[in-house]
Structure formats: structure tokens, C-alpha cells
Amino acid sequence: MSDRILPYLPEYYQEFLEFKELDQTEDIELDQLETAVQQLFDDQFVMRASLQAIKRRELMLGIQANPTTETIDFRRQRILNRYQTKPPFTVRWLQEQLDRLVGQGMTIVSVDVDNFILYVTTNIENANVFREVQHTIQTIKPANMVYQQNTSLNDVIDLKERIVKQDITWNYKLDGSWKLGEKPFATLGTEVLIK
């Protein structure tokens, strides 16, 4: 923006070159100040925060980030996850929290009430996300419950159906004329494909 200061000065200053140059210099500084104020405002929100603000929040929460393997989006999501782990906790709340952290449908939370076991079945390939899931569960899990991690695989099973017929000849009769182990109990014929 130009001419931010000059219009506020008396008219006779607007004719001097020095004041025009001073106005341009102050415009640059005011633009920088405006950018810094906007960044300070953005840093108050995790999803819009700068890298420096993310690092400061991680330090406050005791998180040791690894920038080489963790994306900035994952780091933001982890900070939000840590802020949102406040009681009261329910199975539904944990399911929703894990869906936000890992992805919809990637985890299933269930409880065996009689045996005090919390089951979490996950399909996670990213080790950083897995560690954050572990941290979340260990933080909110009641002390009287045992946490059981189950792993699921997202794979496709191909089934082929065929029907075969095979004749069976029984080698022993129930008349007492046979000796145990002399022959096999039955002899199998060849398989014939029906369908």
C-alpha cells in the first residue's frame, strides 16, 4: 500500500521529496508490521500456525517431533489430539477421536465389560500415527482396564469354487475278519470335476 502516512500530514509537507521517501519507507515497515500481526493472530490457531508456533506448542506438550519423517499436517493433528484428550471419556468419544486421527473406518473400538479389556483393532501403516494412537489410548484408558491391540489387514480375498466327486472304497468290514493296521481304512478313487 502506498501513501499511508502522507495524507495525514499537513499539505505543505506533501511537496517535499524527503517526506515522500519517508512515506514509502514507512509503508514497507507498516506492511511488515501488518504481516507480523496477522501471523501472530494465525499462530493462535493450530491449523493455521507457523512452523515456529508448532514447535513451541510441541515443546509445551512434551512432544519430540521428527521433521524428517513427520509432515506438518500430522504434527498439527497430533497437537490437536493432545489438546482434545480431556475427560470424560467414552467408547464413542474414543472411536471418534481415533477416526479423526487415523481416518474414518481405520479403527474399531470395543470393550469386553466382563473381563475389563479394551480392544482397538487398527489398520495403520504409518509408525508415527500408530505411536500417537498408543499415546492417546494409554492417556485416557481407565487403570482397571487392559488394552489389547489388534491389527487388521486391508486385503482382498479371491475365492474360487469347484465341486469334485471322489469314490471311497472301505477296506474293512465290521465282521472281525480284519487286522488293525494291515490296510488303510479306506481307498480313495480319483477326483472327477463336476462343476
First to last CA, the chain: 81
Report pLDDT for 2: 64
Is the pTM higher than 0.75? The answer reads no
The C-alpha cell at 109 is: 473400538
Query: For residue range 142-165, what is the model confidence (pLDDT) as tens digits?
Result: 888 899 888 877 677 788 888 888
The C-alpha cell at 45 is: 490457531
Position of cell 507498516? Answer: 30
Q: What is the b/e burial string over 141-162, where b = at least 16 CB atoms within 10 angstroms of the residue's CB?
A: eeeeeeeeeeeeeeeeeeeeee
CA distance 46 to 81: 11
Do residues 165 and 192 lie in contact, with contact meaning Cβ atoms separated by under 8 Å? yes
Confidence check: pLDDT of 170 > 70:
yes
Confidence check: pLDDT of 56 > 90:
yes
Report pLDDT for 19: 85
Do residues 174 and 186 lie in contact, with contact meaning Cβ atoms separated by under 8 Å? no
Mean model confidence pLDDT for the chain: 86
**84-88, 100-104, 140-144, 187-191: which has the minimum mean pLDDT?**
84-88
> What is the share, in percent, of the chain residues with pLDDT greater than 90?
27
Going by the DSSP 8-state scheme, the letter that residue 12 receives in this structure is: G
The more confident residue out of 171 and 119 is 119
